[in-house]
Amino acid sequence: MSLDEIQRLHKFRSQDKWVNSAHDFQQITHISDLLLKEIAPYFKFPKWVTASKQSNQFSASHNMKLDLNSASGQALQKVYGVGVKLSEKILRYRGQFEGGFADMVELQGVYGLSDEVIERIKQKFNIKNPRSIQSIDLNKATQEALVKVSFIDYELAYQIIEMRKLKEAYLQVEELTKIKEFPKEKIDIIKLYLHVNNRK
């Protein structure tokens, strides 16, 4: 570094100010890009500086997303892979529930939505006011209670209870996937409605 560059840094520090990034260092000292590239790897900044920047970036990204529960068909169609028909299916699925979506995972319940398109939707949308779900204990649920869970009909509810009798109790909800007719690809949605109370 030249004498002028060092003096600029000393003058800045004499004001009890701190350098919090390589960019700040260059702005203060006026060093060249080439020199900055050489010495930047040796810089050490407080962890709170990096954490604060990451937090601000996350917050900005989060706030920029649209609410899936109030999104219009036109807004959904701006997602690559979502056309008129798929946007209508999403709105129709949302309309089945008072309060709309409870979790982004419910997009898996919309017929025709691929995993790739769902990931693109998640990049542009979130759920600001999710629908409240009253989860029920799988080891106490009656057939009538089970059929109220998405993707579980009376026959499947009966099989769930029969397996529970054989096992005496489920240890986790994922055990349901061992039932022959169980829709394994919908387990993440079903887990929103069911839980296992392991407390004795």
Domain regions of the chain by residue span? 3-64, 66-126, 136-195
| CA dihedral angle for residue 137, residue 143, residue 145, residue 146, rounded to 10 degrees | 70
Could you tell me which CATH class the domain 136-195 is placed in? mainly alpha
Name the CATH topology of 66-126: DNA polymerase; domain 1 (1.10.150)
169's tokens: 């109790």
Interatomic CA distance for residues 27 and 19, integer angstroms? 10
- Topology match between the domains 66-126 and 136-195: yes
145's tokens: 């209670």
Query: Residue 14 pLDDT > 90, yes or no?
Result: no
Give which of 83, 140, 109 is closest to 101, Cα–Cα. Answer: 109
For every residue of 139-173, DSSP letters joined together read TT--HHHHTTSTT--HHHHHHHHHHHHHHSS-S-G
pLDDT digits (tens, 9 = 90+) for 144-162: 999 999 899 999 999 999 9
pLDDT digits (tens, 9 = 90+) for 49-88: 555 555 555 554 445 889 999 999 999 999 999 999 999 9
Asked if 120 and 79 touch (Cβ cutoff 8 Å), the reply is yes
> Global pTM?
0.63
